[in-house]
A = this chain, B = another copy of it.
Amino acid sequence: MGLMNADAFRASLRDGRTVYYRGRRIPDVTAEPDLNLGVEHAVLDYDMAHDPAYRDVAVAKDRESGTEISAYYQIPRSADDLLARSRLIEIGTQRGGTIPPLIKEIGTDALFALLRVLAGDALERARAFYRHCRDGDLAVAVAQTDVKGDRSLAPHAQADPDLYLHVVGRDQNGIVVRGAKAHTSASVNSHEVIVLPTRAMGPEDADYAVSFAVPIATKGLSLYVSSFSGGDHNSLEFPLSSKSRMLESITVFDDVFVPWERVFLCGEPGLAAPLALTFVEYHRFTAVSYKLPLIDAFVGASASIAEMNGVAKAGHIRDKLAALITYAETVRALIEMAALRARIGQHGIAYPDPMTVNMAKFTFARRYHSMVALVQECAGGLLVTAPGAEDWEAPEVRRVLEKYLRGKVPAEERLRMMHLIGDITVRDFAGYHAVLAIHAEGSVEAEKLQILRSYDPRKALSLARKFAGLDRS
């Protein structure tokens, strides 16, 4: 079928999907400006494949068929494949102004997990679905996090049984599911959504151990899209967020029918944790890859604004820049190392070293807010008192601003850099990034746990015992 182009992609989203935004049912997502911002953000991905400057990274040759496919769909077989994938995600995110397109990254993270963890019929169904997505060059969202209710209780023990997505009926044709997933990224502008379980489950949670895929425009499936940071944003004050936005939904399954060929897991609670975990390891690798442009921008914007303010040589500024560089480059080194330490999993599918991935994500997340503080310290109070676009447009005001807001460079240059820093460290968009740093792709606590689990303690334990004189080997 070949690689989809931008217009075909836009058209494909006008399929009767059930989308609510700001309290209203939206008949055509491409016609609603806030939502279309997300659509056009996804177009970045489709355009890359057709842009000679990016074809090398964005398009791959399928190893089975030899045909051209979106490089996201390339199943990784080696460290080099993982490195290429990481660079593809980084470049896509640079183009997306710190927001990844995310219409294939997360979907393939889930697909690789399904292709590794499943077996038998379920594996065949997953393979068929993978080929369907790859050959159709489809955009695929993943709905994993349940709404959860009281988190101290297991799925089956909640006051309302629907607080975790579960199977409420089944027959020879398929299953019927009910429940809601939270924080589903890029569902509005995807073609399909893969549902994964969110945690380990016990025998009593069997009905909650369910994984499947359905088209977004499926009967009973409704997306309630978050209006966070919606509305118009001018490009002076919001250089990135005026163009880039991730759309998140609460994704409600109101007795949705799923045919068996789209069901990957049903009633096997023992597979819930392996599936959830395998996905999330791929996804943390994706995540750190797409964080790189943001933290590079921290370094670059801090160095720029310090220079513009005339303080680049101050000892404490140099200290802050050294800390920002160490942060950004440690995260980069760790994610690169996670790829270089690639392991080969089931069916020859490669995956990044789990401990190293989790250290990368943990290092990124744990120190993120402190780094934001350093960037803000380099910039100054104008971050929240600088004039806005309307001031700049008014000639009699602009004249005053040009006189008084110059640093070592003209006022406009300084203002634009200041507003970039505002966009990524102060404004709604910055808050979005900060919350993502902590909560997306699993919390900081989850990463800590995975570091513990994936670390091989034998070397350290035997060294300690030998040093203590307990083992004489």
Give me the interface of A with B, judged by CB distance under 8 Å.
20, 22-24, 94, 97-98, 145, 147, 149-153, 159-160, 162-163, 180, 182-183, 222, 224, 226-228, 230, 235-236, 239-240, 248-250, 252, 293, 296-297, 299-301, 303-304, 309-311, 313, 315-316, 318-319, 321-322, 325-326, 328-330, 333-334, 336-337, 340, 355-356, 359, 362-363, 368-370, 372-373, 376-377, 380-388, 390-394, 397, 400-401, 403-408, 413, 416-417, 419-420, 422, 424-428, 430-432, 434-436, 438-440, 443-445, 448-449, 451-452, 455, 457, 459-465, 467-470
A404 to B178, CA, bound (A): 11
Choose among B329, B428, B455, B468 the residue that contacts A420 (Cβ–Cβ < 8 A).
B468
| Contact status A435-B443, CB under 8 Å | no
Least distance between A12 CB and chain B CB atoms (Å):
25
- A227 touching B388 in the complex, CB below 8 Å, given contacts A322-B448, A376-B438: yes
A252 to B396, alpha carbons, bound, how many Å? 13
- Please pick, from B322, B397, B427, B445, the residue contacting A23 in the complex, using a CB distance under 8 A: B397
- Could you say how many copies of this chain the assembly holds? 4
A451 with B391, Cβ < 8 A, contacts A386-B226, A425-B431, A467-B98 known: no
Residues of chain B lying within 8 A (CB to CB) of residue A356 = 329, 333
Complex alpha-carbon distance, A292 and B337, angstroms: 17
Residue of B with least CB distance to A251: B404
10 A-B pairs with CB atoms under 8 Å apart are: A150-B407, A152-B311, A159-B406, A182-B404, A249-B385, A299-B457, A300-B459, A315-B315, A316-B445, A326-B451
Knowing A227-B388, A468-B301 are in contact, say whether A369-B359 is a contact too (CB < 8 A).
Answer: no
In the complex, which of the residues B337, B388, B403, B435 contacts A226, with contact meaning CB atoms closer than 8 Å?
B388
Measured between C-beta atoms, what is the minimum distance from A18 to chain B in Å?
11
- Most chain-B Cβ atoms within 10 A of its Cβ — which of A333, A359, A380, A391? A333
Q: How far is the CA of A309 from the CA of B152 in the complex (A)?
A: 8
Given the known inter-chain contacts A160-B406, A404-B252, please indicate yes or no for A330 contacting B363, CB distance below 8 A. Answer: yes
Question: Given A384-B435, A388-B228, A404-B250, A239–B468 Cβ distance below 8 Å?
Answer: yes
